[in-house]
Structure 1
Amino acid sequence: MEAPPMEERGKGMGGRGIGPRRGSIVTRAGGPRARIRAWRGKPRSRSLRSMSNRLLLVDGHAYAYRAFYAIRSLNAPDGSPTNAVFGFVKMLQKMEASLKPTHRLVLWDAGLAEERLAALPGYKADRPPTPDDLVSQFPRMEAWLDAAGWAQLQIEGTEADDWIGTYAKRSSAAGWSTVIASSDKDFLQLVDERVGILNPNDKTERIWGAADVEAKTGVQPAQVVDWLALVGDAVDAIPGVSGVGPKTAADLLKRYGSIDALLPRVPEIKADRLRTELMAATDLLRRNQGMVRLNCGLEGGPVLESLASRDPDTAKLRELYRTFGFKSLHAELGGDAGVVQGELL
């Protein structure tokens, strides 16, 4: 049977795929090898009251993993897995209904940034490979996005995080507001009066602002890069300063303001071990700053206006739901005749 209505927050992301997906089609689009979907169809009409633009940026791999682990094994009529597809669709549908963005973009990882690998060869090396049953579902998620009128971007050799940062900055420069859908703490550095975070781990489903970042980390968004540099990131295999945890890092930044201001004053620190560790960590901290700071100046990619929310291609959605065995989603389009129900094991 098809999956029942689900809570949209998964039980953990697991390791995120970071390379080009097997079976994906990569084409050339202006320089780097890239996959950029062309978004056909007309933009949705908007009243004058809603003319202010809101861009929704979705961390594609994060939500794909989330969906994969949130739902038990769900199969299409042909026996192929569809659990991640179903969860992904439901999450994005709920997100859109709640946020009502005027523009939407799903970003996919397609490798690692060369400058980060050069600085730290072990960067993200500990992450397990993407499960085969998830790999096989990525093309179906992409097909759904195309049919549903969502823009999506994947450029080989780049990380989705940097593209999300780039588009957040472009959006702000254009006077738009931006919501980033992700639980990745790296994005906390982007939060300001125009950029907020939709954290799927937060059951209130509100948009995080600067106060939420401070409640989570103990520092302001502008200090998040330095906070991460001090603490490190075990998920990405970035070691921090020995003995410095989130609270100590926040206390240091509250007192000194930044790493730049802290380093010359390390001899003032009374705690012997902390002083010794920080004095030995200058190079590590400088490297870590470069590792965790998002590259918000990437070139290329579609222009902002092309990311406008488009009317869905209902005929294509019907065919996809029929293939996937998503009877309830097919019925929402106005009919379910002839759809063979998927099997939930």
Structure 2
Amino acid sequence: MIASALIVDGTAVAYRAFYAVQGLSTRDHQPTNALFGFVRMLRQLEARWRPERLVATFDGGSPAHRLEKCPAYKAQRAPMPDDLRSQLALIDEYLDVAGIPRILLPHQEADDVMATLADRAARAGAVVRLATSDKDLMQLVDDRVRLIPPTKTDEELDVAGVAAKTGVRPDQIVDWLALIGDVADNIPGVSGIGPKTAAKLLARFGSLAECFARADEIDSDSLRAKLLAGRAVAELNVQLMTLDKAVPGVPDWADVPAPAPDAARLKAFFEKYELHRFAAEAAGGAPAAPAPKPPPARPAQDQLSLF
């Protein structure tokens, strides 16, 4: 049985690495800042948690079912910077020589792929850690699934941690997000209801459905009116924010291989892109330095930041 698994939001880590490390390129002017930061973050995570399985997932575009329900879903996001886009192939090449499985499926978001993998790994008996800063994935946390931020390798969010951060249980996260919305995904919430009010409603009634069914028990006329006026918005948001745990094309957990790095290819890869410290490490030198902290104002791909 595989006892531990680490599933990484590769797209988010690439964005964070790109903004955290500035001005790094080869003599031929190929940017390598995102590659450098990506490698360092993954190595720090792997060194801290020592997973038996490590998988990197990447966004393949928004699923049709979300776009059909909400054409404006993520429509406000700026295109990926050219200097970052030019490094995606380098990151793929690194994952190949490092022997780390990579999953990118057309028209599937990394969050849903992570949800599918986490569910399968947990059912197989593994303790699963998801390296992400996205609040959406808090809905997956249970006694076997935890969240860790890519840049704070010692922090781990369990069931109690989710409640401390948000005021609600993991199984209430979708309803909580449905009420408050998600600016990063261009999903509006119920007008006039913020995180604390949403948490209080769910603490009292237990679920979004019960909030609406027992709205007459809400003492505040103003709050009751806001809630009922936003019912259609909130119910649509539940559909948009519920992660898919059965994404087609995601491999069975038993078929996910263990990391199998090729030291010689790693050394040649790092030398090719002039990452000399990593090349020395691949040849048996000192370990990489701690992962850099990205600017707090620029979370990965403008996600709703968890940490």
TM over 0.5: yes
Is 1:102–1:308's contact at 8 Å kept on the other side of the alignment?
no
Residue 300 of structure 1 deviates from its aligned partner by 2.4
Matched, 1:316 2:265: yes
Identity fraction in percent: 44
**Aligned residue among 227, 230, 240 for 1:291:** 240
Instruction: Tell me the equivalent position of 1:330.
Output: 279
> Contact 2:177 / 2:241 at 8 angstroms: preserved in 1?
yes
Deviating runs (4+, > 4 A) in structure 1? none
Corresponding residue for residue 200 of structure 2 = 251
Residue number in structure 2 paired with 1:84: 34
Q: Which residue of 2 aligns with 1:124?
A: 74
- The corresponding residue for 1:342 is none
Conserved in 2, the CA contact under 8 Å of 1:168 and 1:178?
Answer: yes
Query: Is 1:219 equivalent to 2:168 in the alignment?
Result: yes
Distance 1:204 1:324, change over 3 A: closer
* 1:15 corresponding residue in structure 2: none
Alpha-carbon deviations, 1:98-156, whole Å to 9, x = none? 11110111001011011111111100011111000000000000100110010001110
Residue-by-residue CA offset, 1:156-184 (whole Å, 9 max, x unaligned): 01111101001111111111111000010
Per the alignment, do residues 76 and 204 of structure 1 end up closer, same or farther by CA in structure 2, a change over 3 Å counting? closer
Corresponding residue number in structure 1 for 2:157? 208
1:187 and 2:137 correspond: yes
Which residue of structure 2 aligns with residue 241 of structure 1? 190
Contact 1:197 1:209 in 2 (8 A): yes
- Separation in 2, partners of 1:280, 1:108: 37
In 2, distance between residues paired with 1:323 and 1:302? 32
Question: 1:204, CA displacement in angstroms?
Answer: 6.9
1:58 aligned partner, one-letter code = V
Q: Which residue of 1 aligns with 2:7?
A: 57
Aligned equivalents of 2:255, 2:272: Cα separation in 1? 29
Residue 68 of structure 1 contacts residue 83 of structure 1 at CA under 8 Å; is this kept in 2? Answer: yes
Matched residue of 1:73: which SS? Answer: coil
Which secondary structure does the structure 1 equivalent of 2:185 belong to?
coil
Tell me which amino acid in the other structure corresponds to 2:129: V
* Aligned residue in 2 for 1:24: none
Structure 1 equivalent of residue 293 of structure 2: none
Tell me the SS of whatever aligns to 2:47.
helix
Amino acid at match of 2:237: N
5+ residue gaps in structure 2? 286-307
Partner Cα separation in structure 2 for residue 130 and residue 191 of structure 1: 29
What letter corresponds to residue 129 of structure 1 in structure 2? P
- 1:105 paired residue number: 55
- The letter of the residue matching 2:143 is E
Show the counterpart of 1:74: 24
Could you tell me the TM-score, scaled by structure 2's length? 0.90
Q: Is the 8 A contact 1:107 1:164 kept in 2?
A: yes
CA distance, structure 1, for counterparts of residue 269 and residue 216 of structure 2: 64
Give the match's secondary structure for 2:179: helix
Larger Cα Rg: Structure 1 or Structure 2? 1
Distance 1:139 1:79 in 2: 16
RMSD (Å) for aligned C-alpha atoms = 1.4
Deviation at residue 287 of structure 1 after TM alignment:
0.5
Equivalent residues of 1:77, 1:324 under 8 A apart:
no
Higher helix fraction (1 or 2): 2
Shift of residue 334 of structure 1?
2.3
Match of 1:4 in 2: none
Deviations 1:270-297 (A, max 9, x none): 2222111111222111100001110111
User: What is the TM-score normalised by the length of structure 1?
Assistant: 0.80
